[in-house]
Amino acid sequence: MPLFSRPEYQIGRGETPESRVEVPFFVAFMVFSSVALLVFHLYVRDEALTIALAVSMVIFAITFLRVELGVYFLIVCMLLSPEIDAGPLGMGQRSLNLRYDDILIVVVFGGVLVKQAFEGENRLWRPSPINAGIAAYYLVCILSTLLALRRSLPLFEANKQATAFVMLKMAEFYMVFLLVGSAIRDARQIRRLLVPFFLVALVVAVYAISSRLSAVERVSAPFEKGGTEPNTLGGYLVIVICLAAALFTQAPTRKTRTIALVIAALGFFPLLYTLSRASYVALVAALLGLGVVARKPLLVAGIVVLLLLSPIIMPGDVQERVLGTFQPQGEAVRVAGLDTGITVDKSTHERLYVWQKVAYNLHFWPWLGGGVCWARVLDSQYARVLIETGLIGFIAFLFMQWRLLRTSLEAYRWSGDWVGRSIGLAAFASTIGLMVHSLGTISFLIVRVMEPFWLLMGLVVVVRALAIEDYVRTKEENHAREHAALAQGAGAESAA
């Protein structure tokens, strides 16, 4: 069967070939699914729901046969999945947007778990230093939310539904990380996975550029409901450009470097027209971090030169957006109650004013905050973390970020494969970029930013694990050769 033509999909259990067990399961599942779909459609009589359920069942079955294909479907849906406006939710009556990839993550994750069960895997996910960071921060979020429920805070009571959805959304991000780390097993799969990732990025970039040509002031990602979100597209493109730039710095051939450079350029132009200042600063920080870690002084020098020439070469819209930060008739900036004499636009002022909310909330519940979704803060991830989970949650959040940076660096430094080094370098730069991006938006809660980011971090875990396996294998082989040489020498001496 073609699905089992490659060695990595021929892992047997004892003397039984994998295909002899899994193909019958696949056939039985499809027969059961067909009957279940017929009964479901006759009962519900909703074609859209029936089609969605049918697609989900097919993807589950395909994931069971080839987990890599399930991840491909997930990559495509991350940015190209349509959104459904489910109506207002919570105190702020903000629209709840559901996306098909919310369901697909659970479907693919289930397929991976069933696959692991058939292969006799005893672990649900691959061990890594990042797991402790995720567990620490998410547990603090749960504890803080439970305490808020116990207090019955009036504002929190009005946001119970929003709280549940935020917690589920965070769990989805970490699920992407765990399933990619479990599903992807070798360097060849990683290379193949980059193809759909960049194809989706190309579609998004072309869509954004065409939107700009249609006289849209600020470009955004496809299929967005409730207004455009340029910051979301900006954060996603920072990840894409970092991955392309990392491949450019590590690629062994001129052809590969040229392709990576073209991809980075295709991501850079729509990023400019998001007019997202947070994304501009995030990209600069990310590429500087990438250049320093990769020891590419020409890249760092190029970024500095580009910044110096930006008042001349950047489009007028971009210059106007950046220069519009400081306005003579804008909002006054005050620090510790003192007027600084600086006036900024309303958007920048809101991102500064949010820290007054932080100080106010920390006065009442400094350690564990007021619970997730206690205060609807959209202007800063760090401010939101402090308000919702207090100082303990803030420390846990920084601990998770430190683990992300450390693991990425280890993958970059330990890997002997240039693609593996590129993945580690890109993840490190993307984390730096999103940490800066988070100063102006809730980057670590945005679905279309976090799903690609956690997919990249899942690949980092795989690269790091493969590097460790190669090191152990090489050490064992060297030890075996040394032992054989000693035995041979001892035999020669006894013969003499």
Q: Is residue 142 part of a domain?
A: no
Q: Is residue 108 part of a domain?
A: yes
Q: Is residue 160 part of a domain?
A: no
Tracing tokens 């910051």 back to the chain, one arrives at 231
Max distance between CA atoms of the chain, in angstroms, equals 98
Q: Which domain holds residue 116?
A: 1-121
Q: Is residue 404 part of a domain?
A: no
Q: Is residue 293 part of a domain?
A: no
Q: How many beta carbons lie within 10 A of that of residue 7, not counting itself? A: 9
Q: How far apart are CA 71 and CA 55, in angstroms?
A: 15
Buried b (16+ CB within 10 A) or exposed e, 154-168: eebeebeebbebbbe
Q: Is residue 61 part of a domain?
A: yes
Q: How far apart are CA 434 and CA 432, in angstroms?
A: 6
What's at 338, amino acid-wise? L
- β partners of residue 326: 344
Q: What is the pLDDT along the chain (496 residues), one digit of tens a residue?
A: 344 344 444 433 333 444 555 677 777 878 888 888 888 888 888 887 788 888 888 898 888 888 889 999 999 999 888 766 555 555 444 555 667 788 889 899 888 888 887 777 767 778 899 999 999 999 999 999 999 888 876 656 557 778 888 999 999 999 999 999 988 989 999 999 999 999 999 999 999 999 988 878 899 888 776 567 899 999 999 999 999 999 999 999 999 999 999 999 999 999 999 999 999 999 999 999 999 999 999 999 999 999 999 999 999 999 999 988 888 777 888 776 777 778 888 888 888 889 988 999 999 899 999 889 876 787 899 999 999 999 999 999 999 999 999 999 999 999 999 999 999 999 999 999 999 999 999 999 999 999 999 999 999 999 999 999 999 999 998 888 888 888 887 777 676 6
Q: Is residue 269 part of a domain?
A: no
pLDDT tens, position by position, 81-136: 876 655 555 544 455 566 778 888 989 988 888 888 777 776 777 889 999 999 99
Strands 83-89 and 338-344: what pairing? Answer: unpaired
Q: What is the DSSP letter of 7?
A: G
Q: Is residue 327 part of a domain?
A: no
Q: How far apart are CA 296 and CA 487, in angstroms?
A: 47
**Residue among 416, 362, 417, 418 at smallest CA distance from 391:** 362
**DSSP per-residue string spanning 439-461:** TTS-GGG-HHHHHHHHHHHHHHH
How many domains are contained in the chain? Answer: 1
